[in-house]
Amino acid sequence: MWPNVSAAPFLLTGFPGLEQAHHWISIPFSAVYFSVILGNGTLLFLIRYDQSLHEPTYYFLAMLSLTDLGVTLTTMPTVLGVLWLDYRTIHHGVYFLQAYVIHTLSIVKSGVLLAMAYDRFIAIRNPLRHTSLLTNSRMVQIGVGVLLRGCVSIIPPIVPLHWFPYCRSHVLSHAVCLHQDVIKLACADITFNHIYPVILVFLAFLDSLMVLFSYILILKTVLGIASREERAKALYTCVSHISCFVVFFSTAIGLSLIHRFGKHVPHVVHIAMSYVYFLFPPLMNPIIYSIKTKQIQQGILRMFFPGKSRS
């Protein structure tokens, strides 16, 4: 039987070998965190108070922004605590809770991107019934379903972490709480915790396939439109979502590949790629929608220049 020293807290890690530069590294991290909060917070404020944005497309965008804010606000305290204060100690319950929230929101985000693809599919294939098919009650059902799928699917690998003995080093390799990081320290049979994440990756892969399939059908519909100008206009409404989809899944695939095949890559690269996965999509999504969506641009102008918007 393994000796159980689980009472000892875990120790988070910043950037090994760069501890003296942590204060400098914290500057871009703080700037990114602030930008994520500002950008997504602005989108949520606009969608909440601008009546012209009370449409299914922007409700789904609000779900995406809430998910991005959730990831940012969950990871920010431990990352900045390590970089600013060198505060590395974290107790098991806090660690497991943060890991649960982080992984849950990753599944939720995949589901939201799939729902946004469904919204674009309906808007282009059957525009006259778009709002009647995606009613407020239907939006709530989709949102609750996506949230429940994320919450329930992450329970099986996280709950056993509370009872595993941790008799190896308690030093973790990141400043954020990840299932795949802590499971390496467990002195127990962790076969299930190795297999189950593969199932979750497969489900996320199915989400991406369904998004791609929806765009194949969208493209087929657009090509059937007689007017070239109308075809371009229909495709343009999809650009923002496609960009967000590519940003999220490309960073997820990159992180998976470097964990799977990058054994000889410096550890600092693994850490940096993890932060790219957590921070780059939440940073880019508001920028993408602000640049590519005319209604968002007009909403921002109305918010900051109300006199000009009425003139």
The CATH code of the domain that includes 251 is: 1.20.1070.10
- Domain around 233: 10-294
Smallest CA-to-CA distance from 172 within 16, 2, 18 is with 16
Residue 126 lies in a domain: yes
Residue 17 lies in a domain: yes
pLDDT at residue number 153: 95
3-class state of residue 15 by DSSP? coil
Residue 308 lies in a domain: no
Separation between Cα atoms, residue 134 and residue 136, nearest integer Å: 7
pLDDT at residue number 226: 64
Between the two ends of the chain, the Cα-to-Cα distance in Å is 77
pLDDT at residue number 307: 63
The pTM assigned to this predicted structure is 0.90
pLDDT at residue number 37: 96
3-class state of residue 89 by DSSP? strand
Give me the phi and psi of 90, to 5 degrees please. Answer: -145, 130
Residue 310 lies in a domain: no
> Which residues are within 8 A (CB) of 156 and not within 5 positions of it... i.e. 6 or more apart?
192, 196
Residue 266 lies in a domain: yes
3-class state of residue 252 by DSSP? helix
> Which residues are within 8 A (CB) of 48 and not within 5 positions of it... i.e. 6 or more apart?
62
- pLDDT tens string for the chain (311 positions)? 444 445 678 999 888 888 888 999 999 999 999 999 999 999 999 999 888 888 889 999 999 999 999 999 999 999 999 999 888 999 999 999 999 999 999 999 999 999 999 999 998 888 888 888 888 899 999 999 999 999 999 999 999 898 888 887 788 888 898 888 888 888 888 889 889 988 888 888 899 999 999 999 998 888 887 678 888 888 888 889 999 999 998 888 888 777 766 677 788 888 888 899 999 999 999 999 988 888 888 888 887 777 655 44
Q: How many domains does the chain have?
A: 1
Separation between Cα atoms, residue 180 and residue 289, nearest integer Å: 32
Identity of the residue numbered 291:
I
